[in-house]
Amino acid sequence: MLTRGRAPFALIFLACAGLLAYAYFVQFVLELEPCPLCILQRLGFMLMGVFALAGAIHGPQAWGRWVYGVPILLGAGWGISTAGRHVWLQSLPADQVPDCGPGMYFMLEYDFPMMEILREAFTGAGECAEVDWQFVGLSMPAWTLIWYVGLAVFLLWALLARPADREARP
């Protein structure tokens, strides 16, 4: 069953690994450079994937599933907030888009403080408003938002589902 043991964690890990693999394919093969919010969204999938892999390897039972589930949900929350911000930026009219600041790679190379990098990514990333990729009319940040919400809902369903042996009792 999809709600027990290793299965939900393995499925979440495979989804995150596949999404990250596609993001790197788009970056290195299709040569579409990620903006700062794209990179921050990858961090959410990385966090989710690492804890999902640990949960899949360990196969926790009962409350132990929450030990892995909570960090995965936190990663999804991070992703939902960054992808939501990204989708919002892309929906702004051109005259309301924030000015572009220095790129994330530039800030990392010149040792900007991490809080300043995050602030810049969330407040002054005009380059994030550009839509360079679409699938069935939705941009990549819209798709990542859908994936974050879907994976979080799936995990909550798996964590809150009653065990099959309790369901069979009258």
pLDDT tens, position by position, 114-129: 777 777 666 655 566 6
CA angle 17/67/157 to nearest 5° reads: 70
Q: How far is CA 149 from CA 80, 153, 156, in A?
A: 7, 6, 11
Choose the weakest-confidence range: 46-55, 62-71, 140-149. 62-71
Q: For residue range 131-167, list pLDDT tens digits in order.
A: 787 789 899 999 999 999 999 999 999 999 876 544 4
The answer to whether 154 and 146 have CB atoms below 8 angstroms apart is no
The predicted model scores a pTM of 0.79
Q: Report if residue 131 sits inside a domain.
A: yes
Q: Report if residue 135 sits inside a domain.
A: yes
Domains in the chain, number: 1
Domain that holds residue 128: 7-162
CATH number at residue 93: 1.20.1550.10
Q: Report if residue 168 sits inside a domain.
A: no
Q: Report if residue 170 sits inside a domain.
A: no
Q: Report if residue 167 sits inside a domain.
A: no
- Measure the CA–CA gap between 11 and 1, rounded to whole angstroms: 12
Q: Report if residue 147 sits inside a domain.
A: yes
